[in-house]
A and B are shown apart, each in its own frame.
Chain A
Amino acid sequence: MKVEFFYAEGCDNCAAARRELKQAVAAAFRLDADWHELEVVKHLDYAVELGVLSTPAVAIDGVLVFAKLPTVAQLDAELQRRAPPGHGR
């Protein structure tokens, strides 16, 4: 699974959330989740293509799943739902 976290440079809220979610995903899914961080201004066209209207936002496998910042539990549940049987936590 490819997890893409869209953030804005200089946004303290984004930075703190990014660290927390990245750690949670790494702990629960290890190699099953491919974590990417995209600064929204540098990847504006791609963000618009996915429908990102605000940051932070999270896309999974090229689809915008969280238009607003998810909690660790929300992201974890979404990844668990998508994980193949026997993978993830």
Chain B
Amino acid sequence: MLTIGKLAAQTNTSANTLRFYERQGLVCPTSKGENGYRLYAEDAVKRVHFIRHAQQSGFTLAEIQELLTLQDSASACCSDVRKRAIDKKLMLEAKIKLLKAMSAELDALILNCAHEDHPVDQCPILDALSRAPQSELRS
């Protein structure tokens, strides 16, 4: 059995993170010792690694909970997990597309501001930001 400190050390996390995972129902201690300390089974290490890796891949904690449930479900198959990974990929790509559009908008604003010594009330960036977008004016 592992104490929370040992589990944190083996998974490169903190005890606070593990307590947070417990509150979210992701990793729960198997038992509590006589002193009230949390005790985890050895396979909790694998579970915490899974959670951290999934977080790095963009999955939310709620989605990770679903993945863990699938992992524990005898009737689930690989395509169920793949479907979730594809949906996550689509969402990330949509966000990337939006971020690229925002970056391009900033490029245009930066190009407009060629005179860095203008007073702030003549700043073309602030001026452009204060105007409603064309799409909103049309609607």
A residues touching B (Cβ–Cβ < 8 Å)? 8, 10-12, 40-41, 44-45, 47-49, 51-55
Contact B83 A48 (CB under 8 A): no
Chain A residue at minimum C-beta to C-beta distance from B82:
A10
B residues touching A (Cβ–Cβ < 8 Å)? 78-79, 82-83, 86-87, 89-91, 93-94, 97
Q: Which of B87, B91, B94, B97 contacts A55 (CB 8 A)?
A: B87
Contact A10 B97 (CB under 8 A): no
What's the A-B contact tally at a CB cutoff of 8 Å? 36
Contact A52 B90 (CB under 8 A): yes
Docked CA distance A8–B87 (Å): 10
Contact B87 A41 (CB under 8 A): no
User: With A10-B78, A48-B97 known to touch, is A53 a contact of B86 (CB < 8 Å)?
Assistant: no
Contact B94 A8 (CB under 8 A): no
- Contacts of A12 on B, CB cut-off 8 Å? 79
Q: Which of B79, B94, B97 contacts A11 (CB 8 A)?
A: B79
Q: Which of A11, A45, A52, A53 contacts B83 (CB 8 A)?
A: A11
Besides A48-B93, A52-B90, 18 new A-B residue pairs in contact (Cβ under 8 A), listed by A number: A8-B79, A8-B82, A8-B83, A10-B79, A10-B82, A10-B83, A11-B79, A11-B83, A40-B90, A41-B86, A44-B90, A44-B93, A47-B90, A48-B94, A53-B87, A53-B90, A53-B91, A54-B90
Docked CA distance A49–B79 (Å): 24
- Contacts of B83 on A, CB cut-off 8 Å? 8, 10-11, 55
Q: List 14 A-B contacts (CB under 8 A).
A: A8-B83, A8-B86, A10-B78, A11-B79, A12-B79, A40-B90, A41-B86, A44-B89, A45-B93, A49-B97, A51-B94, A52-B90, A54-B87, A55-B86
B136 CB → nearest A CB, Å: 19
- Contacts of A45 on B, CB cut-off 8 Å? 93
A83 CB → nearest B CB, Å: 28
